[in-house]
Amino acid sequence: MATGLVGLTWIWIMLAGGVSAMPLGGAPLPLDPALSAVAPQECLWYGSSSGQTDANPDSENETEQLFAEPQVQRLAEEIETQIMSALGMATQRGGREEQVLARSVPPLIKGVMLRPFVFYIEDVEVTDKGPGGQGVDGSAAFVINAGEQKEEIEKAINNLLQLEPKAFREEQLEGVAWKRAFLGRDISTPVVRMGWKGDYFIVAIGEETAKTVLERMEAGNTPDWLEELRSEHPLERELAVGYFNVARVLEKVRPYVENEQGWDAANKLGLMSIEAIHTRSGYDAVACKTMMHVKTDGQRKGLLGLIPYKPLSKRDLQAIPKNPLLAVAKRVDVDEVIDVALRIASDFEPRAKEQFEQGLWQVESQTGVNLRNDIIKNLDDVWIAYLPGGDLMSSWLGSAVAVKVKDRARLSEAIDKIVALAQQQMQQQFQNGRRRGGATIQENTVGDHTIYSLQVTGEAFPFSPAWCVSDEWLVFGLMPQTVRDVLEREEEDSLADVEVVREPLAASDAPSVVFYVDTPRLVRSVYPWVQMGVQAIASQARREGLNFDTTALPSVEVIAKHLQPGVSTWTHKRDGFHFTSHHSLPGSGNMMAIAPMGVALVVPAVGSARLAAQTVTEINQLKQFALAVLNYESAHGEFPTDIYDDDGNALLSWRVKILPYMEAQNIYDRFHLDEAWDSDHNKPLLEMMPDIFKSPSGEAPAGKTRFLSFSGEGMIMNGEEAAQFRSITDGSSNTLLVVQANIDKAVEWSKPGDLKFDPQSPFDGLLTETGMFLGVFCDGHVSRISNGIDEETMKALVTKDGGEIIDHNQMNMNPQQRVMEVEDAEAVEFDVEIDMIDLVPQ
């Protein structure tokens, strides 16, 4: 239990790191000097959050004004309420431990979302102490300024510690009362202490860490590297900082690389050229800003050679209109990228270049065009793509992709050869009757340019893909009009003249990649769909007992009036690669500006939190089932069968046999194996059913289990006939071992009884509302299986030696309106379009 509590502490930290860059309706708190001083002079990994306070409606920062809007605050409150409710519901069932978790975890998560914290890993070492002569030591810490949340956080932590009070020992160190975790004498891990220093809650990992953390907080000196990081990434108000010391981590890892070949491979991939990665995000005077630096030794080795590095100019953006909805421009020399990729591939496969050239030759022999020399080498290194201004649902029709050209004549000649060959093949297919309609490629002259377009006849085809090679650009579009617009656009009417783009392009170190989004227009475009999506998902969530108030969704104008176009850039400098994103909301960039879309994700996550927790538990239980059975098979040379008397009467279930292999030897020893499951002695043991036999989602009556196997000829469980592993000729990954059956099929766990397979009704006992049931296979993997698979596939899954070929692509297919029999209700039809269990990690 102590290990679990320490593990839970780490989960809090990871959750905090995940949400630290996304305040729920607030603004960053001022930097805490004591927390800044906690960081060591050198570390492997560091992360911090400034926490959040109430947004100021009078702020000049548009993002803060947005968060200060009453409607947005109402949405934030509703999201917080539902998240905390879902977390409570996910753990409220069960015993005392689950109840304590239900009360304690929500305030802890809320605390790390609202209050400033720091987490770092200073050092990790593998020692020669511990089980098997090896253990782990190191130094790390998590420190949070609880502030006004202290009372709730402290109460929650104390509740958790009381679950296993003997696992923690009290000690005094540097004037602080600590709880020291005792993980057992046979476990070699770093010392873990937890304690309070005023409003600061500290988790110190390592023998000396608690002392050094307190000393640093007292001294108040920010380490040089953190000062330099903040100086490199200037911000008016910091929200979050991240730092990863790649060089030092690699240095730590190298002694444990199995051989020098692995290290040499990492070097060839260019990983050794990366020294560190650090980020800083927060508020500037206008909105939000995120900055990242991938620090290198200046070399572009291996994979780094594939990253754009040459600067863009204003003229490179000429083909993009001034008011696009979305746009991207980048410098990528495809010919150079191919060379770099071939060098990397040749380091691992000497014949890579030869095989690539053979492929080029095959294309040339069929088309008369050498792709490398006639096309790729005649493309320049500037690529652009965009969606024009307008509504997202229609503007994609005017989307365009273009690349600058070097030699127009040679490129046009190569493309003409490909066009002629395509026309010839389309004509032959039409003449041979292989197509009901036909297609031709038309040529239209517009000024000095020839625009080619695909024209389809005989079928309703709404597009006319077009392309053109001009003196400067090769342009592609879904419509000829799009191509013409690109060719006729004046330079002063391009995206390069938009202020947020013009500034980085004018810098001495101009970016190699520019991504632009008209956030206000994009929000207005998608918001109606978001509203409908949230309403539909909220309706589904109510079935899980969660009532999300959809009236909390703000009006679109309340959001859009505070948004502004965003731009993200990627720049190469002597010290590595720099990423900068200037956007309207904290998080991962401009697309996060669609705040209500977050609701569309939060609501289903909230609505399925309880289902997710239950499903994770059941998946783990099935894996434990498989492990116990496979361990039994390994020990006895055969799979378990029910326990029979001398007359062939089944007395006890095979589930009793595997008890010693699931840490339940004490229960196994209580059974009289020569008596029936319901004998005077054995029947009371039903009350001792192990938790592994329980099913959280729709738990069966007391003493009964829904986890059953299939019984019958050709199956793993076939009377007294014990199957051996070698008898599974269909393959262990193709043969079901145990499934989660419907509640009405549950049996007393010690009673001989499983699903009697009926070929005429193969899904009997497995039809569910979600259209999926859980099953574990004989190789130990768990899968969700659709009721929509065909009956022959289901028969193949339950037999071990039928010789059938199984199409695993069918496993998650749509249930196709299969009829489900519901107890005490009429038969209903359903068609599962979204399986919320897909949100659960497996």
pLDDT tens for 35-91 read 999 999 999 999 999 998 889 999 999 999 999 999 888 888 887 777 766 666 655
Residues facing 782 on adjacent strands: 776
Same structural domain for residues 617 and 551?
no
**What b/e readout covers 749-785, taking b as 16+ CB neighbours within 10 angstroms?**
bbbbbbbebeeeebbebbbbebbbbbbbbbebebbbb
**Summary count for the chain: helices (H), strands (E):** 23, 36
Extended beta strands in 317-448, E state: 326-331, 379-387, 400-405, 438-446
pLDDT above 50: residue 600: no
What integer is the mean pLDDT of 590-596? Answer: 35
Contacts of 13 (CB under 8 A, 6+ apart): 112, 119, 142, 203
17 assigned to some structural domain: yes
Closest CA to 512 of 570, 579, 573: 570
Tokens representing residue 733 in the block: 């990954």
Same structural domain for residues 661 and 589?
no
Same structural domain for residues 678 and 820?
yes
661 assigned to some structural domain: yes
Range of the domain at 664: 609-839
For residue 538, the Cα-to-chain-centroid distance in whole angstroms is 23
pLDDT above 70: residue 209: yes
128 confidence band (pLDDT: 50, 70, 90): low
293 assigned to some structural domain: no
Same structural domain for residues 548 and 634?
no
pLDDT given for residue 808 in this prediction: 59
Same structural domain for residues 45 and 184?
yes
294 assigned to some structural domain: no
Same structural domain for residues 256 and 338?
no
Cβ-based neighbour number of residue 342 at 10 Å: 15
Same structural domain for residues 629 and 581?
no
655 assigned to some structural domain: yes
* Residues 608, 593: Cα–Cα separation, whole Å: 25
Same structural domain for residues 615 and 603?
no
pLDDT above 60: residue 835: no
What is the total count of domains within the chain? 3
End-to-end CA distance of the chain: 23
Same structural domain for residues 578 and 488?
no
Burial of 329 (0-12, 13-18, 19+ CB in 10 A): buried
Same structural domain for residues 437 and 539?
no
Same structural domain for residues 139 and 195?
yes
Closest CA to 652 of 620, 616, 689, 683: 683
Query: Where a domain ends, among 485, 511, 537?
Result: 511
Q: What is the pTM of this model?
A: 0.68
Cβ-based neighbour number of residue 597 at 10 Å: 18
pLDDT given for residue 359 in this prediction: 83
Query: Cα–Cα distances in Å, from 622 out to 10, 140, 596, 788?
Result: 26, 35, 37, 22
DSSP three-state, residue 135: strand
Instruction: Give the pairing type, strands 747-748 and 704-705.
Output: antiparallel
260 confidence band (pLDDT: 50, 70, 90): low
* Residues 515, 586: Cα–Cα separation, whole Å: 17
Query: Where a domain ends, among 579, 607, 635?
Result: 607
291 assigned to some structural domain: no
**What b/e readout covers 452-487, taking b as 16+ CB neighbours within 10 angstroms?**
bbbebeeeeeeebbbbbbbebbbbbbbbbebbbbbb
638 assigned to some structural domain: yes
200 assigned to some structural domain: yes
pLDDT above 50: residue 10: no
Torsion of CA 652, 654, 658, 662, to 10 degrees: -90
Query: Where a domain ends, among 607, 635, 667?
Result: 607
pLDDT tens for 463-515 read 889 999 988 999 999 888 889 888 888 767 789 988 899 999 998 899 999 99
pLDDT above 60: residue 603: no
* Angle formed at CA 16 by CA 11 and CA 17, multiple of 5 degrees: 100
* Residues 655, 628: Cα–Cα separation, whole Å: 10
Same structural domain for residues 443 and 577?
no
824 confidence band (pLDDT: 50, 70, 90): very low
- Percent of all residues in the chain with a pLDDT value above 70, rounded to a whole number: 81
